[in-house]
A and B are shown apart, each in its own frame.
Chain A
Amino acid sequence: MSAEAIQARILEADLLAGAEKNRLLSILGELWKKKVVFVGGVILFSLLFVGIFAPYVSPYDPLKQELNIRISPPIWMAGAKAGHILGTDALGRDILSRLIWGARISLTVAVGATALSIGIGASLGLLAGFSGRKVDDLIMRLVDIQLAFPFILLAIALVSVMGASLQNVVIVLGITTWATPCRLVRAEVLSIKEREYIVAARASGQRTWSILLGQILPNAATPILVLATFDLGRFILSEASLSYLGLGVPPPTPSWGSMVADGQDYLSTAWWVSTIPGFIIMFACLGGNLLGDFLRDVMDPELKE
């Protein structure tokens, strides 16, 4: 063995321990190393957790009205009612319980709509970027039409046809926002498909669809993922706008967005009714973004070390 080869072996032995670890463990290890990111993960997963186990963790029924204790402030303020940690809203419903149950709705909408929007957008973007000029032109004109349509107008039209429900909110949000991921993915594909390793894959005899899914998509994943984490936050807010217009999840089902909307009339006298759900939305978005940053780094082998 040459000196070079021996050196390589030694380096190898050092790295081998890392390579042998299973993937999940190494992701968890990375998470622990980056405390800020860990915080993001904790925020997001605890929200998910309380959403899933809402019936067990929520102190009250989120729909139960106690009109004699309307608009009571959170526990740390004067005049707070015992038991209602974050106070009550205009109908005397416990805000904490509504937040916990609202996590279900808001996170379902956010995750579902993101998946749908990116799913449609990314598939069409891949197709547009990789197929010939005619298909590309057709899809891009569809994107132009989509972007020219006001979101709210389209949402009103769709909801009035399909009716307001959780499922329909997800569908409406998904099919009104696919244009951005579509453009993003198309641009990525256009640049990636000219790289030499794609020519190499073709020269190796790899089939077109396999190149598309196995070589191009993983390289386009980073911007998609970043967009997805931003979209998570955006969709929580969009759901709020739809709820505000009466097009969202129908009341009295609690969602974070509709809670913000409910509280707006009392903003000058009872700030917490709107502000607390607003904070939760902010934390959820922050958690999503931190986690997105982290996933981006983990997925890129060059940034991993």
Chain B
Amino acid sequence: MAEDNILIDVQNLTKHFPIRRGIIFERITGSVQAVDKISFTIRRGETLGMVGESGCGKTTLARVILGLMPATSGHVYFDGEDVCSLKGEKLRLLRKDMQLVFQDPYASLNPRMTVEAIVRTPMKAFNLYSNAEQKEKVGEILNTVGLTDFHAKRYPHQFSGGQRQRIGVARALAASPKFIIGDEPVSALDVSIRGQVLNLLKDLQDEFHLTYLFISHDLSVVQHVSDRVAVIYLGKLMELATGDDLYREPLHPYTQALLAAVPPPSPRARRTERVVIHGETPSPANPPSGCRFRTRCPKAIVECAEIEPPLKEERPGHVVACIRV
């Protein structure tokens, strides 16, 4: 496969959900285009941030990458292996190396399992250690994520949201994976806890040489943790650049609008030009022709409805999909 230091290579990944109508004579009347021909790579040890509005396909993308949902077309190469073509036991074994941290720390932990049982799940699934070692490991991992081994015998409802999210992180770490997807791992937490969990994730990355795909709708959170940032709109990749580039000089009008919406730390610090977008996100079942953002884009011209803008490398390492750039 490609370069040696690339861990994840996503090529033209597409996920459409069919819309079914009718009870007896069921027919497919259309499809929700949750993810449409997205390509990007993630290098080893890197954090790729992914931002986009609610419903733009971020969670779907994460689940397709992990093989939790089949892709409609396209490929995901993980360490050179195509996740989309694997099935059954082979796919399961691959999950040892790729794990997921969920958005909702309340829904993602089984209320009837003790913390120890939850964190042991991946170890048991892959027969990693002996019984006694597993228990010991659970204690170690809990310490790593800032809990204590006392907590092992307790149930999820006895913890706060931030602690629960740490349990979720502990579970993701349990099988010593190479790659972790954080699907909005901090958006359910309040601001004071958010920083703690973000710093925890960063520390763990340094300690275990992890690669992250960090999904969020919060630009400031993504800026804090990411090396590079991808911007998604309605299932399409709009812009991808290093964090510094993207935040300093956003090229795509959508990115510019997103950044303009971040409240500045002081009112005087507000940038002079402020792009404001109006209207609702169009339905992914019936996306606009050409550029998907054109219906809300302040810079849209007639051609935008005709040409589907290709990704072009505007500057080294900075790609953008807009014909107006």
Name A's B-contacting residues (CB within 8 A). Answer: 5, 8-9, 12, 15-16, 19, 195-197, 199-207, 210, 215, 218-219, 299-302
Query: B171 contacts the other chain (Cβ, under 8 Å)?
Result: yes
12 inter-chain pairs at a CB distance below 8 angstroms, sorted by A residue, are A9-B148, A12-B148, A199-B63, A202-B68, A203-B68, A204-B122, A207-B125, A215-B110, A218-B113, A301-B155, A302-B155, A302-B157
Interface segment among B13-21, B88-96, B198-206, B295-303: the answer is B88-96
Give the contacts of B82-116 with A (CB-CB under 8 A).
Answer: 92-93, 95-96, 99-100, 102, 104, 107-113
Given A8-B148, A301-B157, A302-B155, A203 contacting B99 (CB threshold 8 A): yes
Nearest CB of chain A from residue B125's CB, rounded to whole Å? 4
Q: Which residues of B contact A202 (CB under 8 A)?
A: 68
Query: B121 contacts the other chain (Cβ, under 8 Å)?
Result: yes
Query: B150 contacts the other chain (Cβ, under 8 Å)?
Result: yes
Decide: A12 and B150 in contact? CB cutoff 8 A.
yes
Q: Which of A16, A203, A299 is B150 in contact with, Cβ under 8 Å?
A: A16
The CA of A97 and the CA of B217, in the complex, are separated in Å by 74
Decide: B112 and A300 in contact? CB cutoff 8 A.
yes
Q: Which residues of B contact A299 (CB under 8 A)?
A: 112
Q: Which residues of B contact A200 (CB under 8 A)?
A: 100, 102, 108-109, 168, 171
Query: B209 contacts the other chain (Cβ, under 8 Å)?
Result: no
Interface of B is mostly: loop
Decide: B121 and A204 in contact? CB cutoff 8 A.
yes
Query: B154 contacts the other chain (Cβ, under 8 Å)?
Result: yes
The CB with the most chain B CB atoms within 10 A, among A207, A219, A301, is that of A301
Q: Which residues of A contact B99 (CB under 8 A)?
A: 203-204
* Closest chain A residue, CB of each to CB of B157: A302
Given A12-B148, A205-B93, A302-B155, A197 contacting B110 (CB threshold 8 A): yes
Query: B126 contacts the other chain (Cβ, under 8 Å)?
Result: yes
The CB with the most chain B CB atoms within 10 A, among A5, A196, A206, A219, is that of A196
Interface residue total, chain B, C-beta cutoff 8 A: 34
Nearest CB of chain B from residue A303's CB, rounded to whole Å? 10
Decide: A201 and B148 in contact? CB cutoff 8 A.
no
Contacts between chains A and B (CB distance < 8 A), count: 78
* Closest chain A residue, CB of each to CB of B95: A205
Nearest CB of chain A from residue B317's CB, rounded to whole Å? 31
Q: Which of A19, A197, A204, A300 is B125 in contact with, Cβ under 8 Å?
A: A204
Nearest CB of chain B from residue A133's CB, rounded to whole Å? 11
Query: B27 contacts the other chain (Cβ, under 8 Å)?
Result: no
Further 18 A-B residue pairs, CB within 8 A, beyond A200-B171, A210-B124, A218-B112: A9-B150, A12-B148, A12-B151, A16-B150, A19-B153, A196-B104, A197-B110, A203-B95, A205-B93, A205-B95, A205-B122, A205-B175, A206-B121, A206-B124, A207-B125, A218-B113, A219-B112, A302-B157
Query: B66 contacts the other chain (Cβ, under 8 Å)?
Result: yes
Q: Which residues of A contact B63 (CB under 8 A)?
A: 199
Decide: B148 and A207 in contact? CB cutoff 8 A.
no
Nearest CB of chain B from residue A215's CB, rounded to whole Å? 6
* Closest chain B residue, CB of each to CB of A206: B125
Decide: B112 and A205 in contact? CB cutoff 8 A.
no
Decide: B68 and A195 in contact? CB cutoff 8 A.
no
Nearest CB of chain B from residue A17's CB, rounded to whole Å? 12
Decide: A205 and B92 in contact? CB cutoff 8 A.
yes
Interface string of B135-160 (1 = CB under 8 A from A): 00000000000001011011101000
* Closest chain B residue, CB of each to CB of A219: B112
* Closest chain A residue, CB of each to CB of B104: A196
Q: Which residues of A contact B157 (CB under 8 A)?
A: 301-302
Decide: A203 and B107 in contact? CB cutoff 8 A.
no
The CA of A218 and the CA of B92, in the complex, are separated in Å by 23
The CA of A187 and the CA of B163, in the complex, are separated in Å by 32
Nearest CB of chain B from residue A5's CB, rounded to whole Å? 8
Decide: B109 and A197 in contact? CB cutoff 8 A.
yes
Nearest CB of chain A from residue B156's CB, rounded to whole Å? 8
Nearest CB of chain B from residue A216's CB, rounded to whole Å? 9
Q: Which residues of A contact B124 (CB under 8 A)?
A: 206, 210
Nearest CB of chain A from residue B34's CB, rounded to whole Å? 16
Q: Which residues of A contact B66 (CB under 8 A)?
A: 203
The CA of A204 and the CA of B111, in the complex, are separated in Å by 17
The CB with the most chain B CB atoms within 10 A, among A16, A197, A300, is that of A197
The CA of A199 and the CA of B63, in the complex, are separated in Å by 10
Q: Which residues of A contact B175 (CB under 8 A)?
A: 204-205
* Closest chain B residue, CB of each to CB of A197: B110
